[in-house]
Amino acid sequence: MLMEQARKEIVKYGVKICEAGLTKGTGGNLSVFDREHGWMAITPSGIDFYQIQPEDIVILDLDGKIVEGSRTPSSEWEMHLMQYKTREDMTAVIHAHTIYATVLACLRWELPATHYMIAVAGPDVRVADYATYGTPELAQNATEAMKDRKAVFLANHGILAGEKDLLNAYNVIEEVEYCAEIYVKACSVGQPVVLPADEMAHMAVAFEHYGQKKDISEQ
């Protein structure tokens, strides 16, 4: 079975994003990229995260053709694959339907630096122009809006994040959702103060190693 360890990690983090309340049911998708072989392992379409097994994960090549797997790959496979084609720093991508990030995505509001933890994703989080799910247009819009960032809001849809592995991609999703919740609640009672650009530049340097987490199970 190709990319066996990656398959297990995808199953693990699919359950984890559900247990953490970061998505529900089949809302979202996860992938891991094997840069050496040019293979992407991605969740199947329409199967509950709690029911997905390693053998359900689909392996695609850089042209989007199935290399191994009997399931239909996630409808968002192009959005994942485009990240791997354009971002050397990403070998894992998570798309989720988190609550507060999606609230902002529906408002078409970007997330400014009102909390320093946004630095795990960048100086802010932009909103990608709307396009129908599973389309090349959405993949292109997400890629453009996530340039120089590790996360992006998909208008009227959800959040997309990428990192060197699933552990760190999960961390980006988790922290951005936390910052989005703080921002939404702060806006309900006043005008949040945005941290200055020089402070966020300082945070960018400080966070170069902050997010370099390693799963205990990998040690």
Which of the residues are catalytic? 76
| DSSP structural state of residue 32 | E
Q: Specify the 3-state DSSP secondary structure of 183.
A: helix
Tell me the two tokens of residue 47.
């199967």
Q: Distance between CA atoms of 135 and 157, rounded to whole angstroms?
A: 13
Q: Which of 34, 138, 18, 161 is nearest to 76 (CA)?
A: 138
Crossing angle for the helix pair 77-86 and 136-145, to the nearest 10 degrees: 40
Crossing angle for the helix pair 166-187 and 4-19, to the nearest 10 degrees: 20
Amino acid at the residue 130: Y
Q: Are 171 and 163 in contact (CB under 8 A)?
A: yes
Q: Are 145 and 127 in contact (CB under 8 A)?
A: yes
Facing residues of 111 across strands?
125
